[in-house]
Structures are given as C-alpha cells and as structure tokens.
Amino acid sequence: MPGLPELNLILLGPPGSGKGTQGERLQEDFRLPYYATGDILRAAVKEGTEVGKQAKEFMDRGDLVPDEVIIGVIAERIQQAEAEDGFILDGFPRTVPQAEALDQKMKELRREITEAILIDVSEDEVVRRLGGRRTCEANPSHIYHVEFDPPKKEGVCDLDEGKLIVRDDDKPDVIKNRLATYREKTEPLVDYYDERGILNHVDGKQSPDEVEERIHGIIATLRREEEEGM
C-alpha cells in the first residue's frame, strides 16, 4: 500500500491456533506476501528438493526442522522485491536462534520487524481443531474444518475444487509432540517480542471473522502510532 509505513508482521501461536486461516485473509487484506514455513516445507517435501529431504523426518514426528535449514529459506524470501513494502510470516521464527537470525537479516536490510501477534488458544481447542482440519491438496492455504468451517461439498475445496486431505502431522500422537515442541521451543518467543515492545495478544477462541477484525484493530493502532511518531 503506497504511502503507508511497511508492515513486517509475525503470526505466533500454537499448532491449530488459526495462523494459516488468518494469514490467508491478511495477505489479501493488506496485499502483502505471505510466507508460511509449514506450507513451504510441505511443498519442498512433495517436490523432493534437498530442503524437503532434510525436513521430512522431522515434520513427520512433529519436531522442528533444524534452524539452519529454515533460516536460509526465509532470508531468501524477505529480500525479494515483492516483500519490499512488508510481509506476513506464519510459522517463523519458531526458536530463539531463528528470531535472532531474523533480526540480524532485517538489520542487514536496514529494516525491522514491526509487529508480532500471538493467537492464543487452549490445548483442548487445538486438539479439536486439528482433529477436524482438512486442507486443499492443490493449495494448502485453503483451510477447512469438518465442523467449524465445512466446505460446501464434502471433500472438495470451495475455491478451486482441489481434493481436501488430512495433513500427515494431524495424527493424535504427532499433535501431542507438536504441542510439546511449541511449549518448549516456541513459547519463549512470546517474551522475546514482548520485551521488544512489539507483541499483541489476540483471543483465538473467537470466530475467524472476529480474530481477523481484532488483528485489523491492532494494525490500525500501530499505524496511528507510527504516524504520530510514537
């Protein structure tokens, strides 16, 4: 959006909190590129690239892929021309070393992360959501839930008629490990961004429309403060 200060936004939150659901909406709302590391890695696995080969076993277990594998993937994307006015990150950073590497990269580009939004949901809710999630095979950012957000026709994506599938890591044991990994490795980032004064919380238990509206409110406040030079 010309004339507006850049928005370099991080979506934080446990598995199933709705990062992908919101990311898909926000990229259209703000016309910014959206980089979801989970989607990028799943595509790499499918294509059989070197990154995909390195990532697969970690993803299948619900562990994080090594920092050095993912940092390069994101560093490459945020310096593309399309990300000049800002970007939305979903699933990155996920460890303190990743956050530090991102800060370092942004410094090199003479930019900084402007906002981190934590989408808060309980673990019970996560289990309910991931148990019923379906994703479009052709475009994984098209996300549904059999109960909370069903497609018009069962098993078929409303947007491109792609087949709806269950993600390999949405199995009960793997979900449990993803949650434990989140608590151990990713939750420390809540303090990391809070200490830098750029963290806001959103109650993720609300409907997707309400969560989206709340995020818009946060960004509007941020832009007002930037205009006022706060």
The residue written with tokens 């004064």 in the block is 197
> Is 19 among the catalytic positions?
yes
Check residue 30 for interaction with ligand AP5 (CB under 6 A): no
User: Pick from 7, 12, 13, 113: which binds ligand AP5 (CB under 6 A)?
Assistant: 13
CB of 169 to ligand AP5, least distance (A): 6
User: Pick from 8, 9, 21, 34: which binds ligand AP5 (CB under 6 A)?
Assistant: 21
The CA distance from 107 to 113, in Å, is 10
Residue 70 near which of Mg ion, ligand AP5, none (CB within 5-8 Å, type-dependent):
ligand AP5
Residue 41 and residue 71 in contact, taking contact as beta carbons nearer than 8 Å: no
Nearest 10 degrees: CA dihedral of 219, 93, 150, 218?
Answer: -10
Check residue 13 for interaction with Mg ion (CB under 5 A): no
Nearest 10 degrees: CA dihedral of 163, 168, 169, 171?
Answer: 100
Residue 72: CB atoms within 10 Å: 12
Residue 207 near which of ligand AP5, Mg ion, none (CB within 5-8 Å, type-dependent):
ligand AP5
CB of 37 to ligand AP5, least distance (A): 3
> Is 133 among the catalytic positions?
yes
Which residues between 179 and 198 bind ligand AP5 (CB under 6 A)? none
Check residue 20 for interaction with Mg ion (CB under 5 A): yes
Residue 16 near which of ligand AP5, Mg ion, none (CB within 5-8 Å, type-dependent):
ligand AP5
> Is 178 among the catalytic positions?
yes
How far, in Å, are 22, 38, 72 from residue 29 at the CA level? 10, 21, 27
